[in-house]
């Protein structure tokens, strides 16, 4: 359904070989929303071995990190903003043989009673308030992160240094930032009530990409040939976000920089933990 040995991507310049690595488990790929963040993440690699330039700004940075004497194959590429853009980029990565994906981004907090700007949030699942995923599966289909990736991220957050708190819970993935979260437009009252319901239901954060990543990766994992839990063909996904303030509070630049640096460290450690688990 997804992997295609003859596939030639239309929107990125990655190759099948770029997705290989880690003893057959596949290169670990970070999927942030912007190329600026992708380039920033690549600066944390111990070695950048190649950059696959894209005319659309979806540049793939390929490299390695070495931890505890083990070299890990790693990469990062921007998905762009929102589910439709993720749909295109992630599909092409999956068709090329990509298997392990971790979104690093930012989110708006939904629980101000115990969350604050500068914290970090790990998604267990995402509310599918988008329309792209509904082109694949009905509304009742859950968009969930891989439990192995969640566990690796939780373990990583316990080891990596961070100044804020760590929150684990359900994310909200929306199509419109300005309508849903900023309450602009003719449906402001309905959007305000909708977000209030999500807060009462316990959703911890709001962003725009996790639901698409989780839906596609879960479907791809379901179609692998080797059904064992420790299969090298496992398609795993997760999301870690730095927490901004409520609604249009994007935080002080100094806070955002510290938060972003910490998020990348947690993300890299997540892949270290995943590799250590043999996944």
Q: Identify the CA nearest to 217 among candidates 229, 240, 233.
A: 233
How far apart are alpha carbons 94 and 91 in whole angstroms? 5
Q: Identify the CA nearest to 48 among candidates 61, 59, 32, 57.
A: 61
Residue 161 has a pLDDT of: 84
Question: What letter would DSSP give residue 59?
Answer: P
Residue 226 has a pLDDT of: 85
Residue 1 has a pLDDT of: 67
Residue 254 has a pLDDT of: 84
CATH topology of domain 17-276: Rossmann fold (3.40.50)
Mean of all residue pLDDT scores within the chain: 95
pTM (2 decimals)? Answer: 0.96
Residue ranges of domains in the chain: 17-276
- Element containing residue 158 per DSSP (H, E): helix 147-159
Q: What are the pLDDT digits (tens) for 232-253?
A: 899 999 999 999 976 556 677 8
């Amino acid at each position: 359904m997804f992997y295609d040995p003859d596939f030639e991507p239309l929107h990125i310049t990655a190759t099948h070989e770029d997705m290989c690595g880690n003893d057959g488990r596949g290169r670990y790929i970070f999927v942030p929303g912007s190329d600026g963040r992708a380039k920033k993440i690549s600066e944390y690699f111990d070695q950048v071995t190649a950059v696959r330039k894209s005319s659309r700004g979806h540049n793939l940075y390929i490299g390695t990190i070495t931890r505890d004497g083990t070299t890990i194959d790693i990469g990062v590429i921007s998905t762009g903003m929102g589910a439709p853009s993720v749909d295109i980029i992630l599909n092409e990565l999956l068709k090329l043989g990509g298997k392990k994906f971790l979104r690093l981004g930012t989110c708006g907090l939904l629980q101000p009673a115990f969350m604050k700007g500068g914290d970090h949030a790990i998604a267990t699942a995402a509310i599918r308030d988008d329309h792209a995923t509904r082109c694949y599966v009905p509304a009742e289909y859950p968009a969930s992160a891989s439990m192995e990736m969640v566990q690796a991220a939780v373990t990583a957050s316990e080891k990596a240094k961070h100044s804020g708190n760590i929150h684990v819970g359900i994310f909200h993935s929306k199509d419109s930032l300005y309508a849903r979260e900023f309450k602009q437009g003719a449906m402001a009252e309905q959007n305000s009530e909708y977000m209030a319901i999500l807060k009462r239901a316990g959703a911890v954060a709001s962003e725009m990409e996790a639901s698409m990543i989780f839906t596609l990766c879960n479907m791809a994992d379901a179609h692998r040939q080797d059904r064992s839990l420790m299969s090298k063909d496992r398609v795993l996904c997760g999301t870690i976000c730095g927490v901004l303030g409520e609604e249009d509070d994007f935080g002080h630049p100094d806070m955002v920089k510290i938060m972003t640096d910490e998020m990348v460290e947690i993300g890299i450690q997540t892949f270290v933990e995943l590799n250590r688990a043999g996944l």
